[in-house]
Structure 1
Amino acid sequence: MDMTLKFTESHEWVRDNGDGTVTIGISDHAQGLLGDVVFVDLPDVEDEVEAGESFSLVESVKAASDIYAPVTGEIVEINEELEDSPELINEEPYETGWIAKVKLSDASELDGLKTAEDYLNSIEDE
């Protein structure tokens, strides 16, 4: 796992792309809890997202789970590969299994997210 990633309590990860955008996905832990992902309801490009609000839905053989925006901003890209291959979330949650890219409204929101180390410590306790 990339230790520069940031995480939310609800198991989303954020990668700072260094250009005012971030890539968002769900953690390996989250995909493991969900089981085999069968469908991803992607947001639309140009959608505005609010930190803490649901912006996507991942359905697995076990359950459907809302995906919450870790940051506020505008969707600038979605991972269309997930439409045909939702299992990428299971196979490579931090690489090809990303969900969306967001142009940040407020980069300081990243400071409020958990470090990879803090996140790993928090899930060890579960």
Structure 2
Amino acid sequence: MTQKISIALGSAEDAAKDFIEAWHCAERGETHRGAIEKLYFEDLETLLRVLNQRRWQLLKTLRLAGPTDTPTLSQMLHRNDQEIQTDINELEQSGLILRTAANQIAAPWDVVEAQMKLVPCV
């Protein structure tokens, strides 16, 4: 089964509305439409700061490698541990990577889907 995470531009209010909708669907025993996981970024600048080219490469490498630790990931990417740890912290805070029960880092997503509206919906 493909694991998908959806990224969208939106406010904390948008995220709260989506959460409440999913909660109500669960209470009714229904499946919530769309991605199971969804992250909201305030604006495009924030999204691009968090998910820059280096971090995108880290995310892809981590997905291919499976759960691992910082030193191993640093070796795979030919970068120093401190730089990798900074990127891991940012991606973990945003919800794009997770920790396993063994405290390894993991990127469980097969698909990262981005949705950015040019104009607000009316």
Q: Compute the TM-score of the two structures, normalised by the length of structure 1.
A: 0.28
Higher relative contact order structure (alpha carbons within 8 Å, sequence separation ≥ 6): 2
**Greater radius of gyration (CA):** 2
What TM-score, normalized by structure 2, do the two folds share?
0.28
